[in-house]
Structure 1
Amino acid sequence: MESLKLENQLCFPIYALSRQITAIYRPHLELIELTYPQYLVMLVLWQKETVTVKELGKLLWLDSGTLTPLLKRMEENKLLSRNRSETDERVVNILISGKGKALKEQALAIPDAIKNALATDEDQLFSLRDQLKQILSLTTENK
């Protein structure tokens, strides 16, 4: 029964760390009036400027049922716009707005603030990130 002890679970420290890191982000994101999921969307849009809902869902590991209300709120806040593709009405394109682009300047300090708050060296953080990405890629291959 050792396998059913909380301290032997892989999922628990990942879950707990995810919650802790999200809590560290919260005050920084409140300053720019974004939630953590909205911040993730903006990270993609700051990089790509235009993305389909399907592509965004794949990048963020979210389904369209989760993304749709999130994107609707962000569109109401004028951070992005959603438009159906002219060539295929099933495809919805997400485009960053001017307000969304301007928000990038305010967000530039967030990654360094998070690294500093975690009080560990950058090599450890990058190593952990890379290990987690590797595990995620393996879980995708097995589907």
Structure 2
Amino acid sequence: MLAHRLAEHVVGHYAGIAPRRRAPAGRLHRVLLDRVADVVEARLGDPLTVDDLAAAAALSPFHFARAFKASTGLAPHEYVTSRRMERAKSLLLTSRLSVPEVAYAVGLSNVSHFRRMFRRHTGFLPSDLRPREDRRIGLPAPAQAL
């Protein structure tokens, strides 16, 4: 290892060739983190496993999970859940989808579980993000005045 570093230094310093930048030991390179984040964003509504994310990084699930946590401070499952809750918050604030529709849109089929997770992550129930008029069954939201 020391010989490799010495060779990199000599080549970089005397030949003017910059060495490749590597991620610190035990961590994922930024390119791999971006690739995994892209997979998560594209598939938030689908079931995602550590195997799926590890495949995007071309690592074994064990090494991926360890390196991902070392790189981000979050386990892969925590990261996916966090992204799902952020997407759910955005959908609740910007769309007319019902709470069950939002839960399904972010990959959660159990609405009760979705509500518990949403409250744990945001401090609010999903219905708390809706205007009062939208919460009454059968009454349309008031029209916007021009």
Bin for the TM-score computed over the shorter chain: 0.3 to 0.5
Q: More strand by proportion, 1 or 2?
A: 1
Q: More helix by proportion, 1 or 2?
A: 1
TM-score, structure 1 length as denominator?
Answer: 0.33
Radius of gyration: which is bigger?
2
Structure number with greater CO (CA < 8 Å, separation at least 6) is 1
